[in-house]
Amino acid sequence: MEYPLQTEDLTKYFDGRTPAVNDITLSVRPGEFLTLLGPSGGGKTTMLRLLAGFEIPTSGRIQIGERIVADDSHFVPPEQRKVGMVFQDYALFPHVDVAGNIAFGLRESRQEREKRVKELLALVGLSAYATRMPHELSGGQQQRVALARALAPKPDILLLDEPFSNLDTGLRAQVRTDVRNILLETETTAIFVTHDQEEALTLSDEIAIIFDGHLVQVATPHVIYNRPINRQVAKFVGDANILPADAHGMTAASQLGEVKLFHARQGPVDLMIRPEALAISYDERGIPATVLWREFHGHHQRLGLALADGTQLIARTGVDRYFGRGNEVRVSLALPALAYDRVN
Ligand SMILES: Nc1ncnc2c1ncn2[C@@H]1O[C@H](COP(=O)(O)OP(=O)(O)OP(=O)(O)O)[C@@H](O)[C@H]1O
Ligand SMILES: [Mg+2]
């Protein structure tokens, strides 16, 4: 398969000591929406800037389509890479109207340009706004103009750096769905940066987890959530209960009794249990626990539990039964647990 984008051992040092991007090898498939997810300062923006050509790698290689755009002996400047970029702050030109902003990167004849601008205005649902100035638009509309401007020259790859973070919660959900649909419709290959795990899980075809410049795991949202490669990833993408256990094959002895494992293991392990894998009831089955706190989320409830020995767990259940603070309940494991090597 030909990948629209590949990096090999990509490394960037800003100072002599710690690399911002450390030896990253990554491939993006055609039409894929890949998310770079990781904590602040992890190197996500630096990675995008390297791909766009705004930074020169310290070492390693970047290939876009069949062309090597950066390695020891090549460096293709940003304007020749066919890469579009959408930033957090939209960066629209303030003194140019919407149509002018979208036309900015187009080199065709005036007629062609006007045609393309019209297409893009329709694509992002802003046909009636061509002559508006940026300050006359809402945040969501500005972000759609920024997207149209980046897509106008038909880039091979679109890079999006936290494009929704300036929008408030309601609008953010709407704009990100709109953007995702536009990219699906245009079959655009995109790399999206966020430190919001929920955004990454809901939007992405694949997620690349980046900690401290390192690529830790690349997989579908389903695998990242259900089979995180280590504790750090498990905790970054959701609530994770970590419980010591003693494994013997496909089962392990733990504070939740004898539980099933995903993989056969032997000896001391740490179990990773998602809150929704815990079954909570008032009947006799399971280990006794006390409800310490309850958060109501409409479609589910999140519970803090304490076992008799003081071990605390986070559980998540439907709202068909009420569990309140102070209630005595029973807890059992409804799904096999993932086991990691024990670290002390
Ligand atoms: N131009 C620069 N000069 C020196 N150091 C830099 C430069 N740009 C980034 N860094 C450093 O590189 C590291 C990675 O930064 P980067 O901006 O890529 O992180 P990020 O993952 O995008 O974080 P955030 O989620 O906060 O946007 C940080 O330690 C940062 O301080
Ligand atoms: Mg950043």
pLDDT digit of tens for each residue in the chain (344 aa)? 789 999 999 999 998 889 999 999 999 999 999 999 999 999 999 999 999 999 999 999 999 999 999 999 999 999 899 999 888 776 899 999 999 999 988 888 989 999 999 988 988 889 999 999 999 998 888 888 998 999 898 898 999 998 887 777 777 888 788 888 888 888 889 999 998 898 999 999 999 999 999 999 999 999 999 999 999 999 999 999 999 999 999 999 999 999 999 999 999 999 999 999 999 999 888 999 999 999 999 999 999 999 999 999 999 999 989 999 999 999 999 999 999 998 76
Do 165 and 226 reside in the same domain of the chain?
Answer: yes
Pocket flag, ligand 1, residue 172 (CB < 6 Å): no
Rounded CA separation 324/269 (Å): 32
pTM listed for this prediction: 0.90
Q: Going by CA atoms, what residue is nearest to atom 14 of ligand 1? A: 43
- pLDDT confidence of residue 195: 86
Q: Check if 125 has its Cβ closer than 6 Å to any atom of ligand 1.
A: no
- The CA distances from residue 277 to 39, 240, 268, in Å, are 26, 10, 21
Does ligand 1 come within 6 angstroms of the Cβ of 42? yes
Q: Within this chain, do residues 189 and 260 fall inside the same structural domain, yes or no? A: no
Q: What is the pLDDT of residue 97?
A: 95
Pocket test for ligand 1, best of 36, 46, 215 (most atoms within 8 A of CB): 46
The answer on 259 and 184 residing in a single domain is no
- Tell whether 78 and 200 lie within a shared domain: yes
How far, in Å, CA of 240 to CA of 228, rounded? Answer: 10
Q: What are phi and psi of 256, to 5 degrees?
A: -95, 15
What distance in angstroms lies between residue 254's CA and the mean position of ligand 2's atoms?
Answer: 40
Q: How far is CA 316 from the centre of its chain?
A: 22
Residue nearest to atom 12 of ligand 1 (CA): 20
Atom number, ligand 1, closest to the C-alpha of residue 43: 18
Q: Is 30 in the same domain as 116? A: yes
Using most ligand atoms within 8 A of CB, pick from 44, 50, 85, 210 the residue to mutate for ligand 1: 44
- Centre of ligand 2 to C-alpha 262, Å, is 35
Same domain for 101 and 70, yes or no, is yes
Distance of CA 189 to the CA centre of its chain: 15
What is the domain-level CATH number for residue 295?
2.40.50.140
Distance 201 CA to ligand 2 centre (A): 18
Q: What is the pLDDT of residue 344?
A: 66
260 and 209, same structural domain? no
Whose Cα sits closest to atom 4 in ligand 1?
14
Instruction: Give me ligand 2 centre to Cα 22, in Å.
Output: 16
User: Is the CB of 81 inside a 6 Å radius of any atom of ligand 1?
Assistant: no
The answer to whether the CB of 19 is under 6 A from ligand 1 is no
Does residue 111 share a domain with residue 98? yes
Instruction: Please check whether residues 153 and 261 belong to one and the same domain.
Output: no
On whether both 269 and 177 belong to a single domain, the answer is: no
Domain boundary, last residue among 220, 236, 252: 236
Q: How far is the CA of 239 from the centre of ligand 2 (A)?
A: 24
Residue 169: which domain range?
Answer: 5-236
Å from CA of 295 to ligand 2 middle:
31
Q: Residue of the nearest CA to atom 29 in ligand 1?
A: 41
CATH number at residue 41: 3.40.50.300
Cβ–ligand 1 contact at 195 (below 6 Å)? yes
Do 116 and 221 lie in one domain? The reply is yes
User: For ligand 1, is residue 46 a contact (CB within 6 Å)?
Assistant: yes
Same domain, 27 and 127: yes
Distance in angstroms (rounded) separating the CA atoms of residues 13 and 216? 19
Domain edge (last residue) among 215, 236, 257: 236
Identify the domain boundary among 184, 201, 236: 236
Domain count, the chain: 2
44 lines ligand 1 (CB under 6 A): yes
Confirm if 60 and 47 have CB atoms less than 8 A apart.
no
How many A from CA of 191 to the centre of ligand 1?
17
Residue with tokens 């071990």: 311
